[in-house]
Amino acid sequence: MNAVDVVLWVVLPYVALTVFVLGHVWRWRTDQFGWTTHTTQLLESRWLRLGAPLFHLGLLLAIGGHAIGLLVPKAWTEALGVSEHTYHIVALGGGVLAAVLVVSGLVLLLARRLVNGRVRRTTTRMDKVLYLVLSAVIAFGTGGTVGRNLLGCGYDYRETIAVWFRGIFWFHPEPRLMVDVPLVFQLHALSALVLFGLWPFTRLVHVWSVPVAYLWRPYVLYRHRRPRLSASARPGAVGDGRRGA
Ligand code: HEM
């Protein structure tokens, strides 16, 4: 282990997480009107209707998988009687499904931005940086799951990456655990850290404003500003008191 390893696996995570937290505070205090998805649904909705649910459904599945794979220690699942083999099959099934959904959704969303002139023109420089980093995170994650764990010789990330990841939050990071991790997983984790650092300055802030209250709030009722005139009171109607021409 050398100084570069310490920078990559200790300094970078803390810098990224500090920028993540303080960046959100700054954004909330200075730009609440910009705290939105900046949706382009009005410009194009056909591709979006398919790409957005595929992408978000896949990501939800991947987030669930990350929560179990990275946050739950291997000893706990073993204590619950989940064998390594069973864990591997479930993680691989869910992971591959998540990867297929996320990648197909992302390809549709990216193609829509490139092909549709109106959507392309609303794409800011920051959006482009975000799409690039997000694509890298997803490509390396999928490379690890599909390339290494499905088609390759497999890799037990719960012994290394997961322990390193949890150590960051206990303020006891162990960079040595990441040194011999396969490159594709190293690049996945590093690009994810860059994404966390960028997050508060992009449209990704909309993630914290999911309108879940829509599920139980009362219906919105639209009413005419002026009370509607009854049929007999409309101008020109028989008996409205006015003379016809
Ligand atoms: C430092 C943070 C992260 C770490 C340590 C990490 C680690 C991993 C690992 C170990 C896998 C392989 C899982 C398996 O084969 O079962 C994986 C896959 C994946 N990751 Fe991450 N990841 C991180 C952040 C992210 C983020 C922020 C995203 C999305 C924006 C993401 C998206 C994916 C996807 C799409 C896959 C493939 C599907 C899956 O297996 O769930 N990851 N990641």
Could you tell which of 66, 131, 168, 183 is best to mutate to test the pocket of ligand 1, judged by most ligand atoms within 8 Å of the CB? 66
Residue 45 included in any domain: yes
* SS3 category, 94: helix
Residue 236 included in any domain: no
Residue 13 included in any domain: yes
C-alpha span between 190 and 138 (Å, rounded): 12
Residue 239 included in any domain: no
Is a pLDDT exceeding 60 seen at residue 67?
A: yes
**CATH number of domain containing 193:** 1.20.950.20
Residue 244 included in any domain: no
Q: Give binding residues for heme b as ranges.
A: 56, 66, 188, 206
Is a pLDDT exceeding 60 seen at residue 244?
A: no
Residue 240 included in any domain: no
Q: How far is the CA of 188 from the centre of ligand 1 (A)?
A: 7
DSSP string, 120-133: HHT--HHHHHHHHH
Q: What is the arithmetic mean of pLDDT over 174-199?
A: 97
Q: How many CB atoms lie within 10 A of CB 146?
A: 17
pLDDT tens for 82-114 read 998 999 999 999 999 999 999 999 999 999 999
Is a pLDDT exceeding 80 seen at residue 59?
A: yes
Contact 161, 189 (CB under 8 A): yes
Residue 139 included in any domain: yes
The pLDDT score that the predictor gives to residue 243 is: 47
- 132-141, 153-162, 193-202, 234-243: range with lowest mean pLDDT: 234-243
Contact 52, 109 (CB under 8 A): yes
Q: Which of 224, 154, 127, 179 shows the shortest CA–CA distance to 9?
A: 179
Q: How many residues can be counted in the chain?
A: 245
Contact 16, 197 (CB under 8 A): yes
Tell me the residue range of the domain where 25 lies.
Answer: 3-227
Contacts of 239 (CB under 8 A, 6+ apart): 232
pLDDT tens for 192-235 read 999 999 999 999 998 888 777 777 777 777 777 776 666 666 66
- CB-based pocket (< 6 A), ligand 1: 62, 65-66, 69-70, 91, 95, 98-99, 102, 134, 137-138, 141-142, 144-145, 149, 157, 161, 165, 185, 188-189, 192-193, 195
Residue 232 included in any domain: no
**Amino acid symbol at 49:** R
Q: Indicate the pLDDT class of residue 134, thresholds 50, 70 and 90.
A: very high
> Per the structure, how many domains does the chain have?
1
C-alpha span between 118 and 25 (Å, rounded): 32
